[in-house]
Structure 1
């Protein structure tokens, strides 16, 4: 008898949305004009759906008056703020392609994106922390001939742009909306490659609107929900799973701060009576470890989304018990798939929420294949996770060769992640193909070791990487943030904890004690940097 294959598809009685983002927003405004749509906590500004749509249209008219055509690329290089959201929906209204630029980029990187995407109009923050965006734009603009205008948020240039749009442009706005297809490209997001320059994943209305909608459906969003979004808008987590999930259900978007701040996040949940909270595990860990965590009233929370990396069991237990997030979901995805392909369900048990990344979303297919042959694996066998459906990007912007490397002729997106599918269809991520450690011919999956080491009483957080070894090819390095810096564990402590419980080749042979991990802006640990820094 042959084993069932590692293939699953999301059947659903709920139809895909055929709307553009603008048309979908119009539906929300018609249904809930007086409900709150957006709250920017730091500035104290609030919008009902009717007010939000009016400001979106005001900006859309200004873009039309400035000559922005359908398909033109409009960049946004900014931290989280209300204007970011207005730009997202206004560009969608007129069929311009919004290009998200990572706020952490410096001149070399931003110049590449401005040129590669052919950005003609750029919205930017003035400054944030150590980033002087105006100075950096002035430094690179001479090398970007397509860039004709930069508008700074919170600066007179923003007001000057808005003033260009008048009610006389309403007819043009209606005509432009009528020309748009839900399959038009609407967004370019640059994936943070570990080698070479990032690639611009090009996404349509259909890609991201439906993904936001179905992520919201699986956590039962309605117009009663208020979603605290401390994750960055420049990433799919913020602008799709956050903003589009909210507006497609009439829920409220709550921006706690320009960038992640654990105290500001919990203050916003309490003040705004949020029902949902987003974050990567390291964000939840930072919130739970606040000295005054217990002083915050989080009783309004019921759900939220944790994504970006696996959630340790002990962290999930605290999120459910102490943050009241009994219906929290784990999501798995990638920018190229708009982003979510797999998600846990509200009634899943603790083991499924920490041991898996859920099961396939409605209207999407997933399979696990042998990376060498492309043949679908039997359930339980490790292989590369692939996904297909409405969510797969249109391609990498002006890079057909790179697109063909990622999306095969059958339209399957190859994720580069190693995974297994259980008999019940739930998927476990066992690592990145490139992160897998091969020690003396044995395949070692860092995720398994990390999950085990989280159980050590002296470990707050841990990342496992492979580093070069003369005899075995690679050896296992554990990078540990101790629970108490004054009482860090030793390599002997660590190895004693593992002896008899992990196979000998999985036991770390090296230990590095750290105060923090190098992170991307979206909250993922930069393992490549750990390998480079401590692999010598």
Structure 2
């Protein structure tokens, strides 16, 4: 039984005090890397593909040296505390620059390489970035061309291609730069853009202490062994990829196998070849690996821990992963504002808890469930909004004090916008979201952003975007359109192309519906749940 507060009548309130059993460490990201370079200098730290397509392997000593050269270059390019944006896929340089920026006292702005020009320009303008380091391409997208167009309107932005190696990395390390590396774990170190219900992404500012300790404690509760080989197929611009799957292995002195582009068969081969014991996942990735392994001629990799989440994980997927890979499958829950993990299931948890809950909060973080309307703490077992307070919470939404004040209450608790319960043992279950965000394979998508683009189309009078369940992605994007002028026909291909030219492809609706009217409340607000029900029951015409 967890220690919940009670009133005079014996009613227990869903306010779980922080578990004080684990220690927090007072280290910056750069200090932790320097420590590992001393204690495990020759241990393989990072295996991946470089920007030029060549495979490479770095020990901890080599990784620190590379990061120090980046720090030296950045210190000559921008003032300490500047925002340095990184726009690239999962290449080895991503991790090197992440550590280099931390050593230089810069704030790394992690950008999705799938962003379109307008989205990139918004982020760079909003954070007032001093430097943009970018890849030349991402899959079929020419990033150089996009940067050239965006940079024309940002004269104070210094743009550097990763091909220009001598500009973002120096031949020699500056001892003065390393001597001045940040030592205050409460300094800002990373800016992550997360989609919000307003339609414009918010910049979540995170500090060293949050990233280092969330990574440390997540791997500790997962019982990951020191020196483990860990495979990271998650996008590095997400906190799951660049915090849990990067700084977590750093804490245990392990090896990261960084996947440039996820394809199940080569990833399974790499897991066997590199003797991987830890896999980080979202359901889309784990599902694809399971499907591929079922027909693979080679034996399944013998894993010890599979950890991830990002959306509701089907119980059948967890059980299949345990059966095929022999691993403990752990469900993580949180959000970017919590850097990003609030709770996790443990290897010692019962089968039922691993299948039906998101576990218990990490050590050293308080959790409470509140009534979404009154803000009062509800009774144990009653549903409400999940809130958390602790070392891992974000500093602020950059340049948006109003949004920060809405997200953090007067007692310092972060309101997650997720609905759930906490039982008498302290286990959390997620039941829904106050937010309207759609989570597609781990990607957060703001409906309002897509709706704004849709209603700017000449043939559309009104549009509503909702998430609908999908076996592969967890959720997919669906658009319900009211054509302009009562048009009987809407050219779907034209609208799809219109959206795809303005937004990243993962935001483009997959399913399209038309309607003569949208269900609204007496105050005129669209009843999105009614549209989801209509889609589920087949009462809307799909095109």
- Please indicate, yes or no, whether the TM-score normalized by the shorter chain is above 0.5: yes
**Cα offset, 1:401, TM superposition:** 0.9
Other-structure match for 1:33 = 41
Other-structure match for 1:461 = none
1:280-312 deviations in whole A, cap 9, x for unaligned? 112111111127654344443100212101111
**Length, aligned pairs only:** 455
CA, structure 1 residues 304+292, in 2 after alignment: closer, same or farther (shift >3 Å)? closer
1:416-441 deviations in whole A, cap 9, x for unaligned? 101011121111100112459xxxxx
Could you tell me how far apart the structure 2 residues matched to 1:160 and 1:412 are? 42
**Cα offset, 1:43, TM superposition:** 3.4
Other-structure match for 2:80 = 70
Which among 200, 205, 210 is matched to residue 208 of structure 2? 205
Alignment of 1:411-450 (within 5 A): 411-434=412-435
Q: Are the aligned partners of 2:385 and 2:417 in contact in 1 as well (CA < 8 Å)?
A: yes
Other-structure match for 1:496 = none
Other-structure match for 2:98 = 88
Could you tell me how far apart the structure 1 residues matched to 2:511 and 2:405 are? 25
Could you tell me how far apart the structure 2 residues matched to 1:376 and 1:34 are? 51
**Cα offset, 1:392, TM superposition:** 0.8
Could you tell me how far apart the structure 1 residues matched to 2:510 and 2:305 are? 29
Could you tell me how far apart the structure 2 residues matched to 1:521 and 1:36 are? 35
Other-structure match for 1:54 = 65
- SS of the counterpart of 1:295? coil
Other-structure match for 1:9 = 17
Other-structure match for 2:372 = 371
Other-structure match for 1:342 = 343
Other-structure match for 2:329 = 328
Could you tell me how far apart the structure 2 residues matched to 1:49 and 1:38 are? 8
Could you tell me how far apart the structure 2 residues matched to 1:106 and 1:369 are? 38
Other-structure match for 1:141 = 151
- SS of the counterpart of 2:284? helix
CA, structure 1 residues 528+170, in 2 after alignment: closer, same or farther (shift >3 Å)? farther
Q: Are the aligned partners of 1:10 and 1:362 in contact in 2 as well (CA < 8 Å)?
A: yes
Other-structure match for 2:238 = 235
Other-structure match for 1:397 = 398
Gaps of 5+ in 1: 437-445, 448-464, 466-473, 483-517
**Cα offset, 1:478, TM superposition:** 6.5
Could you tell me how far apart the structure 2 residues matched to 1:192 and 1:103 are? 15
Which among 148, 152, 164 is matched to residue 161 of structure 2? 152
Which among 173, 178, 195 is matched to residue 178 of structure 2? 173
Alignment of 1:234-383 (within 5 A): 234-256=237-259, 258-290=260-292, 293-325=295-327, 327-383=328-384
CA, structure 1 residues 291+16, in 2 after alignment: closer, same or farther (shift >3 Å)? closer
CA, structure 1 residues 161+418, in 2 after alignment: closer, same or farther (shift >3 Å)? closer
1:99 partnered with 2:91: no
1:443-477 deviations in whole A, cap 9, x for unaligned? xxx99xxxxxxxxxxxxxxxxx9xxxxxxxx9x99
Q: Are the aligned partners of 1:37 and 1:49 in contact in 2 as well (CA < 8 Å)?
A: yes
After superposing the two structures, state which structure 1 stretch, 41-50 or 11-20, moved more: 41-50
Could you tell me how far apart the structure 1 residues matched to 2:215 and 2:507 are? 21
CA, structure 1 residues 196+525, in 2 after alignment: closer, same or farther (shift >3 Å)? closer
1:44 partnered with 2:55: yes
- SS of the counterpart of 2:261? coil
Q: Are the aligned partners of 2:207 and 2:394 in contact in 1 as well (CA < 8 Å)?
A: yes
Q: Are the aligned partners of 1:99 and 1:187 in contact in 2 as well (CA < 8 Å)?
A: yes
- SS of the counterpart of 2:130? strand
TM-score by length of 2: 0.78
TM-score by length of 1: 0.79
Could you tell me how far apart the structure 2 residues matched to 1:434 and 1:7 are? 22
1:186 partnered with 2:192: no
- SS of the counterpart of 2:245? helix
1:161 partnered with 2:164: no
CA, structure 1 residues 249+116, in 2 after alignment: closer, same or farther (shift >3 Å)? same
CA, structure 1 residues 415+383, in 2 after alignment: closer, same or farther (shift >3 Å)? same
Instruction: Indicate the RMSD between aligned Cα atoms, in angstroms.
Output: 2.9
Which among 5, 29, 32 is matched to residue 21 of structure 1? 29
Q: Are the aligned partners of 2:193 and 2:204 in contact in 1 as well (CA < 8 Å)?
A: yes
Q: Are the aligned partners of 1:226 and 1:253 in contact in 2 as well (CA < 8 Å)?
A: yes
Could you tell me how far apart the structure 2 residues matched to 1:479 and 1:74 are? 37
Q: Are the aligned partners of 1:115 and 1:146 in contact in 2 as well (CA < 8 Å)?
A: no
CA, structure 1 residues 480+172, in 2 after alignment: closer, same or farther (shift >3 Å)? closer
Q: Are the aligned partners of 1:194 and 1:528 in contact in 2 as well (CA < 8 Å)?
A: no
Could you tell me how far apart the structure 1 residues matched to 2:288 and 2:122 are? 33
Gaps of 5+ in 2: 1-8, 440-446, 448-463, 473-499, 514-527
Could you tell me how far apart the structure 2 residues matched to 1:350 and 1:244 are? 28
1:187-239 deviations in whole A, cap 9, x for unaligned? 00000224421000000001111111111111223432011000111001001
